Each structure stands twice: as structure tokens, then as C-alpha cells.
Amino acid sequence: MSFWLNIKRVARYGLIGFIRNGFVSLSAVLIMTITLLVVSGLMISGAALNATLQQLTNKVDVNVYFITSASDAQITDMQKMLEALPEVASVSYLSREEALAQFRERHKNDQLTIQALDELSDNPLGASLEVRAKETSQYESIAKFLEAQQAQSTDVGGAIDKVNFYQNKTAIDRLTNIIDASKRLGAIIAVVLALATILISLNTVRLAIYTSRNEIGVMNIVGASRWYVRGPFMVAGVLYGVISGAIVLILLYPISLYISPALERFLGTFNAFSYYADNFPFLFLVVIGSGIALGALSSYIAVRRYLQN
């Protein structure tokens, strides 16, 4: 028998079965919609968590203050050495003049300080380097490196006035712990929720097919091959997945629009709606893809129970 004829018949029976078992199909679609909503909700909250943690991480840095007599060459050397470290993400340079300008700006309402500053003949502020690490946990080793340079009184190290890491150490350590814990907790919650909803979906499809178990037995006895019996159920399973995936993608539009302002107020930079809009192709692939996979796999497993030789 021609392969395509079989495919055509299997697809048609799948579609007919989906329509004629309307109530069963409806409940399977509803349950799978909830599953996929949870999956996409996990994706979006994962992205929100990452964005928030990233934002927090960006606020942390270590500053190296140089003595006022440090030469440009010493500072450039230090910048190069720091940039060569694998832990370092970026190093930015703040000159003496810029430091002074920033100081004046910060204290513009404080006449006494400005006056005192004006009394001085020379700029009392040294240049500084602002160092950002790739991970918050890496600041300690960067600070140790700077400390060693300072202690050895190398040409470059001798120009260092102070490193502000130890003043911020407690805050940085605490933030590192919070970030690690939230990532771990987030992953655990995601896995548990995803597993639970997938199992519920699987069970719903199994129940849907349980109502057809006698039918499967009859098809066996008539001499239908396994794939001919299994095919229509898998087609129906794929339909459950595609339809509920489409429902979820449509629902996410108003949902993300609605929660966006509140979420943004709470988390700062993360905007749920622009995440939805920017990542739509990715969301589409994941939601529809997992719908199809879940539907087809559940049907496959469910039918296998009732298929015999």
C-alpha cells in the first residue's frame, strides 16, 4: 500500500477523531493550554529574574584610587593588567579632572565644601579605575590581585592609593549569595512546575485514549499495523498541542500587556510585553514545539498500553 495513501488516511482519521470526540478533545486542549501557559510563564519569569539579577550585578564594581602623583603611564599599565585578567568584564578610567568635576557636581549645594576646595591650590583628587567583574563572586580575586600589586610596591602598585573592595565586601558577598540562591530556587521551581503540568497533560491524554481502548483492541484484531492504529491518536495529540499552543500565544499578548507596568515598577528594567514582542519567534517555537511534542508523546505512550500483538 502506498505510503502517502496511509499518511493521508491516518491524518484524516486523526482529524475526524478529534472532532467527533469533541468533549474529550476540549478537555485535553484546556489542560494542555494550562501546561503551556505555565511553561511560557516560567520562561518569562526566568527572563525577568535574569534581567533583574543582571541589573543588580551591574551596580557592583571595585574602584582603584590612585595617588595624585600617579602618572598616566602607571594608570594605563594598571588598566592593561586588569583587562588582561580573565575575571574582568570591563575597566573604565576616570581622570583627576573628571573626578573633580563629579565632586563639584555632587556637592554643588554644599557651599562650605566648595569653598574649601577652592582654597586649595591643586586638585586633591586622584584618578581612578572602575573595574567590573563578569560574576559578583570574582571581585574578591580581583581585589586580591590589586592588594598584591600594592604590597609588592611595584612601579604600578606603588601608585595605588586604595581599593574600595573591602568597604563593599559585605554587600557584595550578600548580593552574590542572593543571586546564587535565586537562580537555584528559580531552576528548582521551574523543573517541579514543568514536570507537574507535563504529567497532568500526559494523564489527560491517556484518559482520552483510555475511552478508546476497546477500539484499539478491535483494530488489532482486524489486522491494522501498529502505526496505523497509533497514527490517528498521535495526529489528534499533535492537534491538541498546536491548538493549545496557539491559544497560549494569543493569551500572552493581553497578559503581558497587562502585567508589564506592575512588573516594571517592581523589577525596574524588565518589560514583559517587549520581551513577548521581541522574542515572539522563540516563544512560538518553544510553545508550539513543546505542545506538539507533548501531545504526540502522550498519545504514543497511551496507545502503546493498549496495543498488543
Partner 1 sequence: MIHYDKVTKIYNGGQHAVENITLNVDSGEFVSFVGHSGAGKSTLLKMLFAEVKPTEGAVYFSSRNVGTLSDRDLLQLRRKIGTIFQDFRLLPTKTIYENIAFALEVAGKDDEDIKADVPHVLELVGILDKMWSFPAELSGGEQQRVAIARAIVNQPDVLIADEPTGNLDPINTHDVVEILKKINDLGTTVLLATHNKSIVDFVGRRVVTMDRGRIIRDDKMGKYVL
Binding site for partner 1 (CB under 8 A): 1, 5, 9, 16-17, 20-21, 212, 214-215, 217-226, 228, 308-309
Cα–Cα distance, 168 to 271 (Å, whole number):
30
Nearer to partner 1, 49 or 229 (CB): 229
Residue 93 or 210 with smaller CB distance to partner 1:
210
Nine-digit cell string for 262: 506592575
Percentages (nearest 5) of helix, strand, coil residues in the chain = 80, 5, 15
- The residue count for the chain: 309
Query: By the 8 A CB rule, do 204 and 28 touch?
Result: yes
**Residue 131 bridge partners (DSSP):** 62, 91
CA quadruple 109, 113, 119, 120: dihedral, nearest 10: -120
Give min distance, CB of 221 to partner 1, in A. 6
Shortest distance (Å) from residue 1 CB to partner 1 = 4
For β-strands 62-66 and 88-94, DSSP reports them as unpaired
Nearest approach, Cβ of residue 211 and partner 1 (Å) = 9
| Nearest residue (CB) to partner 1, 23 versus 120 | 23
**What's the min distance (Å) between Cβ of 26 and partner 1?**
15
CA–CA separation, 16 and 12 (whole Å): 6
Q: Which is nearer to partner 1, 53 or 216 (CB)?
A: 216
CA dist 272 and 286 (Å) reads 17
Q: Which is nearer to partner 1, 5 or 120 (CB)?
A: 5
Give the nearest distance from C-beta 238 to partner 1 in angstroms.
18
Nearest Cα to Cα of residue 303 among 219, 225, 223, 206: 206
C-beta of 4 vs 112, nearer to partner 1: 4
Q: Which amino acid is at 149?
A: Q
In whole angstroms, how close is the CB of 246 to partner 1 at the nearest point? 25
Helices vs. strands in the chain: H and E counts, helices first: 11, 4
Q: Cβ closer to partner 1: 231 or 245?
A: 231
Q: At its nearest, how many Å lie between partner 1 and the CB of residue 277?
A: 42
- The DSSP output letter for 70 is -
Q: Is 34 in contact with 197 (CB distance < 8 Å)?
A: yes
